[in-house]
Chains A and B, each alone.
Chain A
Amino acid sequence: AQTVTQSQPEMSVQEAETVTLSCTYDTSESNYYLFWYKQPPSRQMILVIRQEAYKQQNATENRFSVNFQKAAKSFSLKISDSQLGDTAMYFCAFMKQSGNTPLVFGKGTRLSVIA
């Protein structure tokens, strides 16, 4: 069974600064997908960024980037130039590459961006 661990329950960052959220996972699979989802207060879950395990290049989406370390089973999210709208719960999630299978989520990190 796969497990996803987010060791930082809460974090805060000043507006315009950079913050990194940590995620580690455990799996015996060699191919899989990793995701970061954002859940703003009282709003629905939004996909932020995805990473295919077979790709060595770290994924980037605008201000969001990941540091994927396959050997260490680590998948951190870096948010650059933090904005007030980034305030949300952030969930790291794992999916087997057998495809279109259920996501396994971590417990989340609550990020507060402070003006």
Chain B
Amino acid sequence: AQSVSQHNHHVILSEAASLELGCNYSYGGTVNLFWYVQYPGQHLQLLLKYFSGDPLVKGIKGFEAEFIKSKFSFNLRKPSVQWSDTAEYFCAVGKFSGSARQLTFGSGTQLTVLP
């Protein structure tokens, strides 16, 4: 079955530690890739996206992600996390289905950053 996998369900880091959250997908063909973030009590917001071109994409708040087509991966990274990065992070894959391009989300990774 086509799916989006986020292997880390809960990650706990201290401030200034480096972050890498894994995301793998099993779709074939052309896909668009996204990372969304949900801060406590807020709705989902787009962090970054990959559509085409440079596989290393930079998003807001110092986040970046690298698309590795051969590995079907789109891992999220940040060199130095802050307490304010505590949130739930969702990887999503965009692919045409039905009458529109749909997003399929992974199960999410809860990041807790300790001060």
Is B one of A's binding partners? no
